[in-house]
Amino acid sequence: MGDPKSWTSEATDAELIAQWHGGDQRAATALVHRHAQALSRFAASLGERDGIDELVQDTFVRAFQSLDSFRADSSLRTWLFTICKRLVLDRKRSERRRRNQVELDEGHAVAEYDALDGMVAEEAAGRVERAVAKLTPLQREVFTLRVTEGMPYGEIAKVVESTEGACRVHYHNAMKLIKESLSDD
Amino acid sequence: MTECLNEDLRDLLPLLAHGSLPAAEAARLRAHVAACAACTAELASLESIRQVLAARAPQLDVSAIAMAVTAATSRGTPVLRVVPGDAPAVKPSTTTSTVAPRRSWVPRHSIAAAASILVVVSLSIPLLRPDASPDTAPLPMPTVAGPAVASPIDTPDVTTPDVVPAVAASEGLVVADGLSDLSDAALESLLMELETLEATVSAEPGSLRRPLVATPGGL
């Protein structure tokens, strides 16, 4: 087989996983190429700014090290997102510990996110950023997974550990708030 | 502008913007959008929002990440196993599932055994003194027998007379005195000793295998 990008482009995630189990490391490379950028977007939506490449790499390493436990009742991407989210939370806790601060809470996450919004240079993008920043962390997570990743509510629910119906409500509330925010600017 | 009343179709707009809808469903939705000003505006918003959010994420050197990942996960390296059905727990170390979990706590039976020894030794000190006189010797009390390695939870009430008949038949630890005779200060001291002992016991002493008997007459 030649370039992994060509021979694996048609293979499903499940087929690539099977090939990786068979000892073909090129399947792992193909899976990384397929999902890395989505993980980067997801990490950014969680408020991460620094070391996203390291975060994505760690996510894949964790995933491959425990791929035997992956059950196909959700998509691989959903599973990767859950791993990535746990790593992000772990990072934030470590940062809090270093600063002798209390446990991560959503209020802190919002503050960090808001503080970085002012750095957006382009005005239209800045308006969108500010609108998204007004969402609660959960609304933002659901909204981002729906809009940037095109995920069905069932998969989103697995990532955010909620229900499909609740995710649907979070999405529509988020969309309504963003519309209001954009029209106010 | 009012929202489209067709919530089911409106709900699919982000998937249309993402391009993840099946072709037939996408065509049906596009036909609706073309005739619906509200959905047209919402789809335009979603597409611009999607671009902004995607641009916010840094572009990765995916090839470098792939190389690092394949190097780190080559077969033969330690593999992290997790509980099936759950996403892997994030832990700094990598261990295999075949490694038995380490138990950092002292086994309960060892603590119980050590505590039993301490009780026997503490109560026997007055009995072993050469100058112990009948006046200072403890009065005969109901004795208590129990298994040498019994859990504290399983230890019977030492003041309960019902357990007395067990003394003769038992080969276990026998305490020939009652805790009820101890003064408050002595009891407090004993408890403090027990607390310090709990932190140091690491193995079950072999001497516990032998029956220990302390009687008012000495050993």
Q: Is the pLDDT of residue B91 over 50?
A: no
CB contact under 8 A, B48 and A124: yes
Q: Is the pLDDT of residue A158 over 70?
A: yes
- Mean pLDDT lowest for which of B74-78, B135-139, B178-182? B135-139
CB contact under 8 A, A57 and B42: no
Quote the Cα angle for B84-B90-B92, to 5°. Answer: 125
**Containing H/E element for B145?**
strand B144-146
Domain ranges for chain A: 1-104, 107-185
Q: Which of residues 92-121 of A touch B (CB under 8 A)?
A: none
Residues of B in contact with A64 (CB under 8 A): 69, 72-73
- Identify the closest residue of chain B to A58 by CA–CA distance: B69
CB contact under 8 A, B46 and A62: no
Would you tell me how many other CB atoms lie within 10 Å of the CB of residue A117?
Answer: 14
Topology, domain A107-185:
Arc Repressor Mutant, subunit A (1.10.10)
Cα of A95 to nearest chain B Cα, Å: 15
CB contact under 8 A, B88 and A66: yes
At B68 the three-state DSSP class reads: helix
The mean per-residue pLDDT over the stretch B37-61 comes to: 89
Q: Is the pLDDT of residue B190 over 60?
A: yes
- Interface pTM, i.e. ipTM: 0.73
Largest distance between two CA atoms of chain A: 56
Architecture per CATH, A1-104 = Orthogonal Bundle (1.10)
A21: confidence class by pLDDT, cuts 50, 70, 90: confident
Mean pLDDT over the full length of chain A = 83
Contact indicator for B194, B155 with CB cutoff of 8 Å: no
Place of tokens 């998969």: A155
